[in-house]
Amino acid sequence: MGEQTQTQKTQTQTPSLSQSQPTSDSTVDIPPNPSNPSKIPIRPQKIRKLSSTNDQKTLQPSDSSQSVVTITKNRRRGSSQSTKSLPQIVKPLSANGEIENALRHLRLADPLLCSLIDTLPFPAFESHQLPFLALCKSILYQQLAYKAGTSIYTRFLSLCGGEDAVCPDVVLSLSAQQLKQIGISGRKASYLYDLANKYKSGILSDETVVKMDDRSLFTMLSMVKGIGSWSVHMFMIFSLHRPDVLPVSDLGVRKGVKMLHGLEELPRPSQMEQLCEKWKPYRSVGAWYMWRFIEGKGTPTTAAVVMEGGRIQPLQQIEPQQEAQQQHQLQLLEPINGMGSLGCIAEGGKDVKYVP
């Protein structure tokens, strides 16, 4: 009777253990040992847990390999994208055949330029001054009429010992009083010193300036006191002959675009980008034609222009009402004896407007 009761208990317990555990394709249930029914069989949970863990470990390599492939693909894709984003080497406008290439492109891209290309002189970008000298010249000419700027620049070269002698060490050796005597204000002298110090410390150099892409160059030169976006654009176009620079803040170019498209108002910088998008990658040449277009129409240009053998170089933004003021400044610069410094108003430490 006792054995029969014990057997019933065992039969009752055994199915409950088996039913209480979930089944799995990867798990083999171990049946109870019939020879010794009184002993509880090995717990299948541990087997299942181990097999589940093993399954995860088995799956992990395939998952990781898949992720590795994905990462590798992403890396390859990222590397290809980064390769595309790297600055491409472009030829300067002074290189043989580049102007011809630019004109062919502009004719096809913007029919409005065809008549200008046919009637205006052939563009020329032939200045080959060293970057440091060109940047000094840009600072000296800022917001001055051509005659006043040329007078100061000539005296600056004489003070340094000629163009070939202009270098960071020589500029730093000049005192603010010496610069003041040739018409350079204390504020503008500080800009020359800052440029020379950045050259001397190695932040800038003629070699790196020439090799930098447009975006990096714009960022680095904008760090120099007194050099703003307009000055950088002028330097890139007329000193480095970069082909795809659009000086959106230059009033002469804006007036040219306004007349070219028959607009009622001067286009804003964002509009300039849109209207001149078709000129890429030769927006510098398109800007050159806008300056000449304004001159040909006899409209007072807002950029002072340097004519060097028929080549034009905008130097600043000048409203017509400022011309009389600058002529007065020019008279103050002559003669050199007893010359006083000009007052200046800085715009964010960048380009400077001089007032009497």
Taking all residues of the chain, what is their mean pLDDT, rounded to a whole number? Answer: 73
Domains of the chain, earliest start first: 89-127+243-303 (1.10.1670.40), 128-240 (1.10.340.30)
Q: Is the pTM of this model over 0.75?
A: no
Extended strands (E) in the chain:
305-308, 311-314, 343-346, 352-355
Q: What is the pLDDT of residue 332?
A: 37
Q: How does pLDDT run across 147-166, given as a tens digit for each residue? A: 999 999 999 999 999 999 99
Q: What is the pLDDT of residue 32?
A: 53
Confidence of residue 88 (pLDDT cuts 50, 70, 90): low
Residue type at position 252: G
Give the other-Cβ count within 10 Å of 310's Cβ. 8
Q: How does pLDDT run across 240-283, given as a tens digit for each residue? A: 999 999 999 999 999 999 999 999 999 999 999 999 999 999 99
Q: What is the pLDDT of residue 127?
A: 82
Backbone angles phi, psi at 308, to 5 degrees: -120, 95
260-265 long-range contacts, Cβ below 8 Å, gap at least 24? Answer: 260/112, 260/113, 260/290, 260/293, 261/112
Q: How does pLDDT run across 328-350, given as a tens digit for each residue? A: 443 333 332 222 222 232 333 34
Residues with Cβ < 8 Å from 237, sequence gap 6 or more? 125, 245, 247, 284, 287, 288
In whole angstroms, what separates CA 334 from the centre of its chain? 41
Rounded average pLDDT over 18-43: 50
Exposed / middle / buried, residue 207 (Cβ in 10 Å: 0-12, 13-18, 19+): exposed
Helix (H) or strand (E) holding 81: helix 44-85
